[in-house]
Amino acid sequence: MLEPTTQPIAMIQIIPISAFDDNYIWCLYDDISQQAVVVDPGDAKPVIAALDAMQLDLVAILITHHHFDHTGGIDELVAQYKVPVYGPRSDHIDQITHHLAESDTLSIMGLDFITLEVPGHTLDHIALYCEQADGGPILFCGDTLFAGGCGRLFEGNPAMMLSSLTKLAELSADTRVYCAHEYTLANLAFANAVEPDNQALQQRISQATGLRQQGLPTLPSTIATEIATNPFLRCHQTAVIDRAKQHRQDDCADSTAVFATIRGWKDNFSV
């Protein structure tokens, strides 16, 4: 009897490359082909160092929005690797070679991504979601949804951002959330001010504190964890509504008003 041929199965690994003070440039790589993709390379130097150290070949760059800490490394990377750059149609990023709009798909290293437009932090913000990755769905959401928080509203309005966050909250609960900053402890301190009686939040705070004490990332998060503990995904919960009303000292008429209130509160919150 013939032995079955064993085909190596590609496993996509996802690792953070630290940049600036608290950015994560996510690097996806296939450990058989040694191909790699990076998401939001704000700085080329740590990316090149990581690729060289692991002998990886960059095959594409993915961009979520135009802010410089997400795009500043594109020119240097493209000069060295000559790879396509996928990202939103935006007046602010002229290096994008393949524009992605709502529902556009992208197949790369065996992963099929779908584009979600998630305006609010910026108007051009997109997120990339892959349902069939090893170990469950994955989401790259830049500065829209953070672990325990959400991005500031630099360009959009509260209704727009709430709609974008709701779209992400509707993804599969086991989706791993790869956001672009290590803001988790500060976000959870604010979440605790909003919902001091949330038991899931208390557990998350101790878990995240332990990870940071060991110098480890608190990411990825999951959609289920965010729904349970992130106040910006909980604007319909009684406890959050009551705290928003108390903070604003008026009647928050709907979820958008609740969201606007806690987003404004967070903007001025210090730990």
Question: Please, which residue, 124 or 195, has the CB nearer to Zn ion?
Answer: 124
CA–CA separation, 257 and 263 (whole Å): 10
- Between 120 and 220, name the residue whose CB sits nearer to Zn ion: 120
3-state class (DSSP) for residue 39: strand
Of 65-73, 130-138, 249-257, 260-268, which part binds Zn ion (CB under 5 A)?
65-73
Least CB distance to Zn ion at residue 201 (A)? 25
171's tokens: 């993804």
Does 66 interact with Zn ion (rule: CB under 5 A)? no
How many CB atoms lie under 10 A from the CB of residue 210? 11
Q: Which amino acid is at 64?
A: T
Min dist CB 161 to Zn ion, Å, is: 13
Least distance to Zn ion from the beta carbon of 69, Å?
A: 7
Is 125 an interacting residue with respect to Zn ion (CB under 5 A)? no
How many amino acids of this chain bind Zn ion (CB under 5 A)? 2
User: Are the C-beta atoms of 125 and 118 separated by less than 8 Å?
Assistant: yes
The correct pick among 67, 204, 263, 266 for binding Zn ion (CB under 5 A) is: 67
Q: Read off the DSSP letter of residue 233.
A: G
Q: What's at 63, amino acid-wise?
A: I
CB 150 within 8 A of CB 161: yes
**Catalytic status, residue 69:** yes
Nearest to Zn ion of 35, 187 (CB atom): 187
Q: Which of 67/266 has CB closer to Zn ion?
A: 67
Could you give the CA distance from residue 177 to residue 263 in angstroms, rounded to a whole number? 20
Q: Rounded to the nearest 5 degrees, what angle is found at the Cα of 133, between the Cα atoms of 29 and 215?
A: 60
Smaller CB separation from Zn ion, 167 or 245: 167
* Amino acid (one-letter) located at 241: I
Quote the least distance from Cβ 67 to Zn ion, whole Å: 4
Instruction: Please choose, out of 3-11, 52-60, 141-149, 158-166, the segment that lies near Zn ion by the rule CB under 5 A.
Output: 141-149
143 binds Zn ion (CB under 5 A): yes
Does 143 participate in catalysis according to the annotation?
yes
DSSP 8-class letter at 181? B
Q: Which residues contact 181 (CB under 8 A, 6 or more apart)?
A: 22, 23, 24, 143, 146
Marked catalytic residue, from 181, 247, 251, 267: 181
Q: From the CB of 243, what's the least distance to Zn ion, in Å?
A: 27
Contacts of 179 (CB under 8 A, 6+ apart): 24, 141, 142, 143, 144, 145, 146, 147, 219, 221
Does the annotation count 70 as an active-site position?
yes
Instruction: Exactly one of 143, 242, 250, 251 is catalytic; name it.
Output: 143
> Among 40, 43, 69, 124, which one carries the catalytic annotation?
69
Determine whether 92 is an active site residue: no
What is the C-alpha end-to-end distance of the chain, expressed in Å?
68
- Taking residues 180 to 219 in sequence order and writing x for each that binds Zn ion by CB under 5 A, - otherwise, the string is ----------------------------------------
Positions marked catalytic: 65, 67, 69-70, 121, 143, 181
Binding site for Zn ion (CB under 5 A): 67, 143
